[in-house]
Amino acid sequence: MNDETKNNSEAGEWLNKAEIADHYKCSERHINKLMERRVLPFLKMGRFVRFDRKTCDEAMRRYETRTVLV
């Protein structure tokens, strides 16, 4: 693994709103609602919004439900 590949994997994968919506199989409108409620962490640079996939996945795990068989 060269230094460039190593740095990219450590930095994470930054996605735009359309890509994160595709990742979670939902609409961009739903992503907007998650942003408003501060469920998804995001980085805003001017008019650009970016999401770190790994950090968002960790945040979404809090809302995961488990099925309990009785």
Question: Contact at 8 Å (CB) between 31 and 40?
Answer: yes
Supply the pTM of this predicted model.
Answer: 0.73
Residue 60's pLDDT is 93
Question: CA-to-CA distance for 62 and 42, rounded, in angstroms?
Answer: 16
pLDDT greater than 60 at residue 14: yes
Question: CA-to-CA distance for 5 and 53, rounded, in angstroms?
Answer: 17
pLDDT digits (tens, 9 = 90+) for 22-44: 999 999 999 999 999 999 999 99
* Cα Rg of the chain (Å, integer): 15
Higher pLDDT, 68 or 51: 51
